Amino acid sequence: MEFDQAIKELETLIGTLERDEDDRALLLLQLVDAIHRPGLELIASGDLEHPMAQALLGMYDLAPVEEHIQVEEILDEVRPYIESHGGDLELLDVDDGVVHVRLSGSCSGCAASAITLRRGVEDALREKYENFKEVVPHEAEGAEAETSGANGGPQLLQIEGLNDQQPKRKLNRPVFEDAGSIEDLASGEMKPVEVDGASVLIVNIDGEPYAFKNSCPMDDRGLPLDGGRLSGKVLVCPWHNCGYDARSGKRADDEPDKPDLAVVPIALRDGKLQVAVNVA
Ligand code: FES
């Protein structure tokens, strides 16, 4: 039935019920009004989190829209962690507690993706999204074509200097190498490690490891950061006191447009740290 037509018929019906003094029908109308009016006021004011607004949306099967927003907000909280590992996270869909996401950047196709998902995303959803069932990761757009040859098998990229008979390897996937143990680094501390000829700064924030190139991007000489200090979650450069978020590497001072730290993807396996300097 058309909306305008329904309004007319409703008005006619209400007039009839009032003339007939049908108390039960009038009580029914009052109850419907008592439920809808405050709920609609909350929705109109944008307070979709309020239980009354939630209940009203749920009556019309609109709750999934709200769930999508709720899940997006939870993912916003863990994005700094994903970004600190050189990746990004996109919410594709929320379907009956199943959260479909796409990991991109260095997380895509990376052996550490499962760890990243489990630690960063699943834990947060399990804690804060009561209908949570599982996370379903999807390949980054174009990743399939990038990683598959014409026959569906792996596509191997040519490395300069190798002939066709020699083994080839993909160039743009992170290669993780050992970088010590998380036990050697207390929460709130940082230390430099040498990995494959590169100096990497490992930082422990609340038990979570993060890694960056050990050089401040504010100086062309690549001045090392390890003489700096951690002020809460802010890494302060020892040379001119620039501040960086020690989880994402982004500027955390009054000059947000200046360069961020170069993030090094990091993984934790059985207490052992591994970093991928080849994609940093
Ligand atoms: S070199 Fe880091 S702030 Fe100047």
Mean pLDDT of the chain: 78
Ligand 1 is surrounded, with C-beta below 6 A, by: 216, 218-219, 223, 237, 239-240, 242
pLDDT above 70 for 196: yes
Is 149 domain-assigned?
A: no
Share of the chain above pLDDT 70, in %: 79
Q: 220 lies in which domain range? A: 177-279
Q: How far is the CA of 254 from the centre of ligand 1 (A)?
A: 14
Same domain, 119 and 186: no
Same domain, 135 and 183: no
pLDDT number for residue 118: 60
Q: Out of 54-68, 150-164, 172-186, which region has the weakest mean confidence (pLDDT)?
A: 150-164
**Better pLDDT: 18 or 58:** 18
Helix H, strand E, coil C: the string for the chain is: CCHHHHHHHHHHHHHHHHHHCCHHHHHHHHHHHHHHHHHHHHHHCCCCCCHHHHHHHHHCCCHHHHHHHHHHHHHHHHHHHHHHCCEEEEEEEEECCEEEEEEEECCCCCCCHHHHHHHHHHHHHHHHCCCCCEEEEECCCCHHHHHECCCCCECCCCCCCCCCCCCCCCCCCCCCEEEEEHHHCCCCCEEEEEECCEEEEEEEECCEEEEEECCCCCCCCCCCCCCCEEECCEEECCCCCCEEECCCCCECCCCCCCCCCCECCEEEECCEEEECHHHC
Same domain, 195 and 268: yes
Residue pLDDT, tens place only, 14-38: 888 888 888 888 788 888 888 788 8
pLDDT number for residue 154: 32
Residue pLDDT, tens place only, 236-265: 999 888 999 999 999 998 888 889 999 998
Choose the residue to mutate in 215, 242, 251 for probing ligand 1, maximizing ligand atoms within 8 Å of C-beta: 242
Nearest protein CA to atom 4 of ligand 1, as residue: 240
* CATH, residue 260: 2.102.10.10
pLDDT number for residue 192: 96
